[in-house]
Structure 1
Amino acid sequence: MERTQIASLKQMSKGMTLLYIEDDPQARDAANSLFSDFFDDVIVGFDGEDGARLFASNYHKIDLVITDITMPRMNGIEMIHAIRQINPDIAIIVLSAHNETSFLTQTIEAGVDGYLIKPLNVTQLIRSIGKVVEKLHLRYENKKNSLLLKQYENITNTSSIISKTDPKGVITFVNEKFCQISGFTKEELIGKPHNVIRHPDMPKTAFRDLWRTIKDEKRTWQGIVKNRAKNGDTYYVKTTVQPILNPEGEVQEYISLRHDITAIMSDKKQLFDFLEANRLSVLILVQIEDYNILEKFYDKASVEKIEDAFGKNMLYLMPNRWGFQRVYHLENGLYAFAIDRRNCKASKEEIHAVLEQFLMNVKEYVVKIDSIEYDISAICSFTYGIFKIFEDAKIGIENAIQTKQPIVYADGLSGIEYDNALKNIETIHIIKTAIDNRKIISYFQPIVNNQTQKIEKYESLVRLVTEDGQLLTPLYFLDTAKKGRYYSKITKIVLENSFAALYKISEAAISINLSVHDIERDEITHYIENLLVQHEDEAHRIIFELLESEDIKDFALIKQFIQKVKAKGVKIAIDDFGTGYSNFERLLSYEPDILKIDGSLIKNIHNNQINQHIVETVMLFAKKQNLSTVAEFVENETIYEIVRDMGIDYSQGFYFGKPEMF
């Protein structure tokens, strides 16, 4: 048992320093040898004055004093009082002989912590010193823990938003960071419930869950909370609420730690929160012009750098007459400025003028990142109101892109778009009904050889029959179909009808329109490949008409498709050639067999010299490339004779026949 106690005492006294004062050399040497087994450092004094001096110079590291009482120059009692002047809390043990009991009262008054009786032995030492050392050990542990707690408190106070409430949820404490983010002073917060910062968007169910967790279940609650500052701004905090329990297990108070995560919430969400909190706002959307071209020229990382650089400089480029505080970076080169209408009472003309200056500043601004220098150009839309303000501004941007206007006032555009949406819904219903009832049909318009006037080809043209028997051309339904999931179904029906028509005519070819979007869909290209396999013997009579387009995401994919179908005997025609986008180099990489000259150039060719010159240029190009040519919109004999004499190979138009069913 004694061995265990010795080991325990040595463990607790490890690292401690003892000041030992004894005037008797023999007793001093014997005790010092014993003390050295337990303490890492033993400082020895020879009398009271020496002991007081040694303590004064080493008090910062001395943990325990053991002293004799009867000593020359200064007795033990006097020395204890001197030491207590320096450190009132130092632990002191008196080492005395049996004949020194007269000093007992004085040592009690001096507040000593224990006694040892001469001569010393290990058992007595363990019993007396053990209790004192244990107290010292506990005191040091508490001190260390208090120091750690103080440091934890400091770092938590610096990094976290902290509040405490009583069991009823009334605020009893907030730190400085709480005041900074909320905009309230401590005086405005203490004594108030937490709903003073509650955002109205936060669902009540979230707070019911919080109170059930911390009050009823007495567990920690964690979650994301959306709050509203004094000025109305929204901010988000990751929150931990801990119930503090008393010894009886009852809630004494609640402590909440929060971390501001507003910066990592998406700008789009923050913009919507602002517009929700400020129902009457001015909203300006700014779109990087030709953003799709920017994406084609640079890799994703470079595009992001360009966007970030532009976003960071937009506040400097905007004539900040009304005090915009930030720029919201939304997506794909789209940004937003937003401000409460009370802070911007300008008319739409005044806002328009400011945006004109902004766009001028943007034109002069060049993004410089690494080795990149990029001239930014932008377009804007703006609106102010209460309902669908973002929807209005977004449609305004789309209109600006379509109409090439730099600035669009967008108020009320979403209402127009809503009407269009209703029409689209009606059209989609008509399309779905027609598909279900097999009322998507194909008409075929003849294409004649200009020299023999014999029909050598037919163009397959889609038509829709409504429930009341009306025949609709693609103009009335195809664009709407492209916005939904029915477009691919229509394409498949047209392909099926066209391949079936091969067996209703003798030698003529069937020309089928395909869009870039058709070829980019695996569903359609696989369907075409299967049809070409099924009708392998007639595949050489199929022509695919491709419409020129800038909206091609993957040129290699288009070329790969063309190579596959041409290998099976299919011919390729370029539709509506001569208008819109014409990249001759890219066109030739498709290795077309036929150019179909756009009808807008043909229908007035007999009285429009410019059109004649354009067609002559196209013909010169076609002949040099050994391509066949088709004139569309040949409506009368005069036009036919002109295109024939110009050397165009084929004609298509009402002069030779309207589209009909086989």
Structure 2
Amino acid sequence: MNCDRCSKIPIFEDLSVCILVPTEHHIDPVKNSLLLKNINFKLVNDIFLVEEENLEKIINLFLEMNLSCIEKRDIKLMPLSEKNEIKYENLKKLKSLQYYIDFFSGKDILYVLDKSSIKTFFQPIISANTGEIYGYEALSRGIREDGSIIPPNELFSKARNMDLLFFLDRLCRETVIKNAAKQNISKKVFINFIPTSIYDPEKCLKSTDEALTKYRLDPKNIVFEVVETDYIEDYPHLNNILSYYKGKGYSTAFDDIGSGYSDINALLALNPKYMKIDMSLIKNIDKQPKKQEKVVNYIKVAKENNIIALAEGIERKEEADVLIEMGIDLLQGYYYGKPCEIPQTTVAIETKLFNK
């Protein structure tokens, strides 16, 4: 059985709201703003009980007060299901003003989640051994109601601020699985996931397992790729998630190696099958010996640990040639193909093969 936290996107249709201010100095400004808007309230022990059914109206009132970032963080709101009556079940709605500001400014995110408005784009990954397509990274893009694409950084950062990252991450994974099956992809499919959005893999990944079974994708062709490795703080928890995936027969990969955030030793200790070297190290690598030294070392470490090394963000032939000479296993980037809804099946350019 799914819990409400995992299965229900918050809907605020409450009858009143409790406002907790951090200091006595905030009482008069809040009181004056409420009076100015003719909003009824009670002040009980420095706590505001506001009789207003439209929570968004209260949020807009605070936005007009020109508060600092710290104040937005420290002012707390708790919507109430009954007028001016606080119950235990209301406590889970006790969140910062900043959370509610982010939530009501994220209409596009709510639309994406409500309508499953996600498109999947497949970018080819090339084998340096054969020069052929080895698999695809699946990239998810949110689509606004007007049909425009939400940039991925905006999409995921807003979902995180709205505390809806789990919903978005799950929707993206399951949409990728459906679209990979629709496109009859029989090669490797790299599916991104954000480990900080998962609490218990047995429960949080159940629907992903069900989607893979429903669409009959071969587990040996599925690679779950850890993204946002800079957010990883709990490596035992991540290991638990990866062990769950491996137990199902899937492979795992780490993204952004060398981006300046990832702890390479800690990540490699988790024994992924793939290691993706960040594009920041790949750009103009043919012209920068220091980048070459770092990448050579990563490739060496990968081979010593029986890990397949993939270079991403390749845009020029010269970059590809240098990487192949270094012994890279897989290549990805605009040089070989841009992400497309219908995956390309051939590589139009000739690849210099390091084993020939």
Q: 1:638 aligns with which of 306, 318, 334?
A: 318
Unaligned runs of 5+ in 1: 1-267, 280-386, 398-417
Against the structure 1 CA distance between its residues 440 and 507, is the aligned structure 2 distance closer, same or farther, given a 3 Å change threshold?
closer
Which region of structure 1 is more displaced relative to structure 2, 438-447 or 503-512? Answer: 503-512
Mapped partners of 1:505, 1:613: distance in 2: 40
Q: CA offsets, 1:106-132, max 9 Å, x none?
A: xxxxxxxxxxxxxxxxxxxxxxxxxxx
Give the equivalent residue in structure 2 for 1:132. Answer: none
What is the aligned partner in structure 1 of residue 153 from structure 2?
475
- Structure 2 runs not aligned, ≥5 long: 1-19, 31-64, 75-96, 343-356
* SS across alignment from 2:237: helix
Check the 8 A contact 2:173/2:193 in 1, yes or no: no
The residue number in structure 2 matching 1:593 is 273
Question: Do the aligned partners of residues 619 and 526 (structure 1) sit closer, same or farther apart at CA in structure 2, a change above 3 Å counting?
Answer: same
* Aligned pairs for 1:53-452 within 5 A: 272-274=23-25, 276=27, 391-394=68-71, 425-426=104-105, 428-452=106-130
Q: Work out the CA distance in 1 between the residues paired with 2:113 and 2:146.
A: 15
Q: TM-score, normalised by structure 2?
A: 0.65
Kindly tell me: are residues 520 and 277 of structure 1, through their superposed partners in 2, closer, same or farther at Cα, counting changes over 3 Å? same
Q: Deviations over 1:492-548 (max 9, x none)?
A: 222222222443234311101111223336553222333355466611111011136
Aligned-partner Cα distance in 2 for 1:506–1:388: 52
Partner of 1:484: 162
**Structure 1 pair 520–641 and aligned structure 2 pair: CA distance change class (3 A):** same
What whole-Å deviation, never above 9, does each CA across 1:145-194 have from its counterpart, x for those lacking one?
xxxxxxxxxxxxxxxxxxxxxxxxxxxxxxxxxxxxxxxxxxxxxxxxxx
Structure 2 residue aligned with 1:652: 332
Q: Contact conserved, 1:446 with 1:652, CA < 8 A, in 2?
A: yes
Structure 1 pair 501–543 and aligned structure 2 pair: CA distance change class (3 A): same
The answer to whether residue 187 in structure 2 is matched with residue 508 in structure 1 is yes
State the identity as a percent. 26
Which digits, 9 at most, give the CA deviation of each residue in 1:569-616, with x for residues without a partner? Answer: 211111010122333442233110111000010012122221111111
Q: Distance in 2 between matches of 1:474 and 1:527?
A: 23
1:235 matched residue in structure 2: none
Provide the C-alpha distance between the structure 2 equivalents of 1:546 and 1:478, rounded to a whole number of angstroms.
Answer: 14
Q: Find out whether 1:543 has 2:223 as its counterpart.
A: yes
Q: Taking structure 1 as reference, are residues 467 and 644 closer, same or farther at Cα in structure 2, changes over 3 Å only?
A: same
Structure 1 contact 616–646 (Cα < 8 Å) conserved: yes
Partners of 1:511 and 1:544 within 8 A in 2: yes
Which moved further from structure 2: 650-659 or 584-593? 584-593
Aligned counterparts of 1:460 and 1:580: Cα–Cα separation in 2: 24
Q: CA RMSD in A?
A: 3.2
Cα distance in structure 1, aligned partners of 2:294 and 2:142: 35
Computing the radius of gyration over CA atoms, which structure comes out larger, 1 or 2? 1
Query: Any conservation in 1 of the 2:166–2:198 contact (CA below 8 Å)?
Result: no
Query: Partner of 2:257 in structure 1?
Result: 577
Give the residue type in structure 2 aligned to 1:561. I
Q: Which residue of structure 1 lines up, in the alignment, with residue 248 of structure 2?
A: 568
TM-score scaled by length of structure 1: 0.37
User: Residue 526 of structure 1 corresponds to which residue in structure 2?
Assistant: 206
Letter in 2 for 1:565: Y
Moved over 6 A (4+): 418-424
Question: What is the rounded CA distance, in whole Å, between the counterparts of 1:613 and 1:626 in structure 2?
Answer: 20
1:606 and 2:286 equivalent?
Answer: yes
- Preserved CA contact (<8 Å) 2:225 2:253: yes
Q: Which of these residues, 301, 305, 310, is aligned with residue 621 of structure 1?
A: 301
Q: Quick one: structure 1 residues 495 and 566, their matched pair in 2 at CA, closer, same or farther if it must change by over 3 Å?
A: same
